[in-house]
Chains A and B, each alone.
Chain A
Amino acid sequence: MNSELLGVIVTFLLTVLLAYPLGGYIAKVYCGERTILDFMKPVERLIFRISGINPAEGMNWKQFLKAMLTINMLWFVYAFFMFLLQGHLPLNPDANPDMTPDLSFNSAISFITNTNWQNYSGETGVTYLTQLFVITFLQFVSAATGIACLVAMFNGLKHKTTENLGNFWQILTVTVTRILLPISIVIAVLLAFNGTPASYDGKDTYIGLQGDTVQVSRGPAAGMIAIKHLGTNGGGWYNANSAHPLENPNYFTNMMEVIAQVLIPMSLLFALGFYIKRRKFANVIFGIMTLGMLCLVIPTIITEIHGNPEITRMGISQATGAMEGKEVRFGPAASGYWSIVTTIISTGSVNSMHDSSMALSGLMQLLGMLVNGFYGGCGVGFLNYFIYIIIAVFISGLMVGRTPEFMGHKVEAREVKIAALVTLLSAFIIKGGLAIACYTLLHYSNADWAFKPSGWLNNAGFHGFSEMMYAVTSANANNGSAFAGLTGNNIFWNVLLGVAIILGRYLPIIGPIAIIGLMAKKKYVPDSAGTLKVDSITFGAMTFGVILIITALSYFPPLVLGPIAEYLSMHH
């Protein structure tokens, strides 16, 4: 078999192999059972004592969300001012400047929400202080926030009737100390050994073979790059992200980084099975999500390996596939696989330039972010999938002639209303944002702004449309990757995407937690022969159908005008 493809398959299988035991470990951590990392207990106790937290105190869904939103607000204020004043603060060997207020706003939002959309360049836009104490810090806690919210859902599913979804502070803390920090350390060390810098010195200078003087940015990057993937963050140390040779030096680090980003979302699924003792339920969801991923990965890899038909028509050989925007050390298959993985799980780090992907790959990347629930980001992936489950439960419940119920709790008007609103919201943000952008571009292209809209797009036509759609979709999905063709650092995009990111982050967390809080309070209804089995393959297929139909119906027209038109015109 083709060794490129083999590399991809081995990478995926290794991920599953690591994720399964990790899922067991994660379930143990949240159950409070003994684990090998119990030596962290004094650290945690110290944190609780300093913060005045009683970790045993339960929270209902409203208290839980209040705690989550409060601390996120605090982080936002902290990050905003740090970015705004970074030029005047220490640890700035390259003397990088302050951020503008709109860029500070956009960046702060971007990192507290696990999005990591970067409208700045890592080499010149931030300092070591903000890289470490704002960005890397937020990469840990934003991932932990998502996971903590998922654990709240685990608690709601575990008990027959309960109001207690767990203690947010306790879950947040152990997520960092027991899961994110230890694994990040391992990854960071491996990265450093493979050549990723871990130094506080400023830029290095060398003279190249052509005799040019080249400056190379350095910094304490390895640690950040580890959590960037493990926490499905995606924001790179360098502007070129994981395509940069210091951020992702070789095929081994590439494999490690792509495994690291799927690891936690996947293992959280298995953890769900262990934690609520319904392994089959978790396995079926794993199967459906994997199926979804394959539906996106396979066409992408095929189209990337075959290369661009326009270039073939010019009579140029493309034996290595479509290589524009790709790194020679990774090749089209591994790059194609990465591009889908990073979009389905909201990491948004890139090892190739998505703007240069084939039209069909662009479509698949967009679909991955539109669904945003095939594995999905840390914690939030399953929360998104849960919304699809609720809609599937409701429709299929009616179809079997019984008031819909999920795991013994009736799904009624309030739950359906919340699920419908969350679904509606994505459609509204993505298409609404895109419509505003199109309108502005057409009617105010030469507006008297600091940056004229006419300069937004690198490409006109369908691809330009895709670039804008990719941006809003990425913001809504809290993904953070970009079709780099869009010039985003201006007040219009900073604000538009900032708003899209906030709405796209918090409402899809609040919705599912509210649903589970409301349902868990209800009386438990035992299963009967007339009850729909939610751990059956039939129900899994139903959920897949719901995802397919909702996504297709909501986004068909813009997809047609962007990547589909581009693809069909190219193959016409």
Chain B
Amino acid sequence: MSTEKSNKLFEAALVKDALKQSFVKLNPKIMLRNPVMFTVEIGTAVMLGVCIWIATGEKAQGSFIYNFSIFLVLFLTVLFANFAEAIAEARGKAQADSLRKTREETPAKKLVAGKIEIVSSALLRKGDVFVCETGDMIPNDGEIIEGIATIDESAITGESAPVIRESGGDKSSVTGGTKVLSDKIKVRVTTEPGESFLDKMIALVEGASRQKTPNEIALTILLASFTLIFLIVCVTLKPFADYANTPITVSALVSLYVCLIPTTIGGLLSAIGIAGMDRALRANVITKSGKAVETAGDLDTLLLDKTGTITIGNRKATNFWPANGVDPKAFIDACVLSSLADETPEGKSIIELANISKDTFKIDGAVFIEFTAETRCSGIDLVSGLRIRKGASDSIRKIAEKAGNSFPEETLEQVKKISSNGGTPLVVSQNEQILGVVELQDIIKPGIQERFERLRKMGVKTVMVTGDNPLTAKFIAEKAGVDDFIAEAKPEDKMNYIKLEQQGGKLVAMMGDGTNDAPALAQADVGVAMNSGTQAAKEAGNMVDLDNDPTKLIEIVEIGKQLLMTRGTLTTFSIANDVAKYFAIVPALFIVSIPGLQALNIMYLKSAESAILSAVIFNAIIIPILIPLALRGVAYKPIGASALLRRNLLIYGIGGVIAPFVGIKLLDMIVGLWF
């Protein structure tokens, strides 16, 4: 994906392509997929027939110019609707093309019977093994079976910092189109050509394999029934008018029909769907289906890993607490000494906190004691005979008490206090004497509380998953503002939690990367696999996040909601518009035979012809006017369902009633100059 993302809705090249497609889509076979617009196309054809009829001498249908104008406007209506769909597709396609560019014909070093053969990437099949060395482009999606490498994934994620991928474990997956920066890896191809996630996504946004989502199907049914109701209105109007001794022209009936049926939403419906997936793609999320995006809008529960999502990476040292009678300076020195060889993030953070340069310590000949699961402590033995240990409080306590030294009361207090504050105490001893405690704390990501608050207002419950003990977990959960937590979590705990929520009728999303997450990812209604995760995880989920950003779920939920809202509001707008159109067209039809109906001409439109033409023009131009809204989506505000409904009803319902009155009146002032 191109690193710079275009936010312009209409790029010249795309518009040109879309314009061409608008005409291609006139093919009735393609139009049939959109029943509402298909009937408009039929209406257009009928009007063309009427124009020819008049040209050959028919007198009762009004002037040729007038009928031809109606024909043109109807034709434009169809084109506008096609254009909306085409521009959405073109934008998706442009995204997809830039993705595809990365994977065009790269040479692959295929491993055949232990020897390297250079073949085209297109020839790689599932199960083949290839080798990549420094500077090579990875030719296909795959799993590292041997080696470790730094990889530049900026082509996919836009993130310039290289990432490390290695065989085994959860970071063994590589993506085609990314570049190896150092070292050498052996990769087994995991997908057939044309079946990778990217290929699926490309097909989706291009519309080739786009299936209608459940809500879209339901809405199409509703719109089709509205269309039928209006068809009945127009067909029966003929005998009614005959009864009232009013001749009605074909153009009037066709215009009334086209104005009443929900062309606005009908023309924009597929564009809205495509744009929804396009927005997901812009957020660097690859979705396997449009349904997944829609489901995201309905989520009730989000499972989030603590580390990396709620807290910044790892714990950090935040305080030194020396025991009574211990010189703070000496304590800090001891802490730093014990951490010099400690490559863990916690160890590094102790040196950071102490703010002492490593070089001030002479540690030649010192022996480093590695951390092991049994001793649960690490440390250093200096040549001077000084033995410094740092570790969990009970293991250091054992060391001290074994040597006959007591564990100071105030240190014990401090240890308890740190634990209950959600921190981790590290006790430090020197020559089996307790020196004090280092406090490690989880750092909660700035701004995460606000995001959870936003989710809560949307009605989404957040659940933190952590390996911490319940006490620590509770503290962090409260501090971060999540609604629930799973402490001391094992992979099956996630699975059970998801199942339990689902039994209660809730929709659950989770994010995961490891192979052991795969079952839970498959069980969740929306499973987002990280791109860095294993192939198994990616297969199990229904979305892949290219940025490996766990907070992405929040954006996905909003994209899903926007998708539904855009459909709902434009439907309301479209139907509400009909009120004004009735007031424009119905008086125009009958005003000659029933003068009293002048009272219904509340817009004071100039003439019957002008009124009908203005209504049809308004009906046509509202489609392109709303294309930007359809593509961007209606903004979601987490203000509660009832307030949101009130807001949208006010804007799109009441607005939808008023706007066409204004629009048709303005158009009438122009059209009225000729008709």
Chain A positions near chain B (C-beta within 8 angstroms): 391, 394-404, 408, 411-413, 416-417, 420-421, 423-424, 427-428, 431-432, 434-436, 438-439, 441-442, 462, 465, 523-526, 528-533, 536, 538-539, 541-542, 545, 549, 552-554, 556-558, 560-561, 564-565, 568-569, 571-572
Contact = CB atoms under 8 A, between A and B. Distances in A.
Nearest to A423: B225
A505 B586 CA distance: 31
Contacts of A424: 225, 228-229, 232
A403 B225 contact: no
A529 B568 contact: no
Given A412-B214, A552-B579, A561-B594, 18 more contacts: A391-B222, A396-B568, A400-B565, A400-B641, A400-B645, A401-B644, A421-B225, A423-B229, A424-B232, A435-B236, A441-B243, A528-B300, A545-B649, A549-B575, A556-B233, A560-B586, A569-B594, A572-B596
A531 B568 contact: no
In terms of DSSP, what is the predominant structure of the interface of chain A?
A: helix
In terms of DSSP, what is the predominant structure of the interface of chain B?
A: helix
A564 B601 CA distance: 13
A526 B504 contact: yes
A130 to B, nearest CB: 37
Given A399-B645, A438-B239, A557 B599 contact: no
Contacts of A391: 222
Contacts of A396: 568, 645, 649
B141 interface: no
A436 B232 CA distance: 12
B276 to A, nearest CB: 12
Interface string B546-573: 0000000000000011111101110110
Interface stretch (B10-18, B167-175, B327-335, B458-466): B458-466
B240 A525 contact: no
B214 to A, nearest CB: 6
B648 A554 contact: no
Contacts of A435: 235-236, 238-240
A413 B569 CA distance: 18
A434 B240 contact: yes
A328 B249 CA distance: 49
A557 B225 contact: no
A403 B298 contact: yes
Nearest to B300: A528
Contacts of B297: 401-403
Contacts of A569: 594-596
Contact of A401 (B244, B561, B594): B561
A465 B244 contact: yes
Given A431-B236, A549-B576, A438 B243 contact: yes
B226 to A, nearest CB: 8
Nearest to B240: A561
B457 interface: yes
Contacts of B572: 395, 399
B92 interface: no
Given A417-B221, A424-B229, A568-B600, A561 B590 contact: yes
B184 interface: no
B641 A530 contact: yes
Contacts of A408: 505
Most buried by B among A400, A403, A561: A400
A523 B243 CA distance: 53
Contacts of A526: 300, 504-506
B329 to A, nearest CB: 53
B113 to A, nearest CB: 54
A539 B640 contact: no
A39 B640 CA distance: 51
A416 B642 contact: no
A441 B260 CA distance: 28
B495 interface: no
B555 to A, nearest CB: 14
Nearest to A420: B225
Contacts of B240: 434-435, 438, 465, 557-558, 561
Contact of A565 (B298, B594, B642): B594
Given A399-B649, A542-B645, A432 B565 contact: no
B273 to A, nearest CB: 13
Contact of B640 (A423, A529, A572): A529
Contacts of B504: 526
15 contacts: A398-B565, A399-B572, A401-B636, A401-B644, A423-B229, A431-B236, A436-B239, A438-B243, A525-B300, A526-B504, A533-B642, A541-B649, A556-B233, A568-B599, A571-B596
Nearest to A160: B505
B294 A529 contact: no
B648 A400 contact: yes
A423 B649 CA distance: 22
Contacts of B649: 396, 399, 538, 541-542, 545
Contacts of B565: 398-401
Given A399-B649, A413-B214, A423-B225, A553 B641 contact: no
Given A531-B459, A542-B649, A413 B506 contact: no
B544 to A, nearest CB: 23
B497 interface: no
A408 B596 CA distance: 50
Interface string B272-284: 0000000000000
Contact of B459 (A416, A530, A565): A530
B600 A564 contact: yes
Contacts of A402: 297-298, 459, 561, 564, 641
B203 interface: no
Given A408-B505, A557-B237, A565-B597, A401 B560 contact: yes
A145 B569 CA distance: 39
Nearest to A545: B653
Contacts of A556: 233, 582, 586
B401 to A, nearest CB: 53
Interface string B605-646: 000000000000000000000000000000010001110111
B635 to A, nearest CB: 11
Given A561-B240, A561-B243, A399 B225 contact: no
B578 interface: yes
Contacts of B224: 420
Interface string B198-232: 00000000000000001101110110111011101
Given A395-B571, A431-B233, A528-B300, A533 B641 contact: yes
A553 B582 contact: yes
B458 A416 contact: no
Contacts of B348: none
B242 interface: yes
Nearest to A568: B596
B642 A557 contact: no
A330 B600 CA distance: 34
Contacts of B575: 549, 553
Contact of B233 (A416, A549, A557): A557
User: A-B pairs with the 7 shortest C-beta distances?
Assistant: A530-B459, A398-B568, A401-B561, A420-B225, A528-B459, A568-B596, A529-B459
Given A557-B233, A569-B594, A394 B458 contact: no
A403 B506 CA distance: 12
Given A395-B571, A561-B240, A529 B225 contact: no
A508 to B, nearest CB: 15
A441 B239 CA distance: 10
Contacts of B300: 525-526, 528
A170 B621 CA distance: 59
Nearest to A532: B641
B571 A398 contact: yes
Most buried by A among B505, B597, B640: B505
Interface string B443-480: 00000000000001111110000000000000000000
Contacts of B590: 560-561, 565
Most buried by B among A399, A416, A427: A399
A283 B523 CA distance: 41
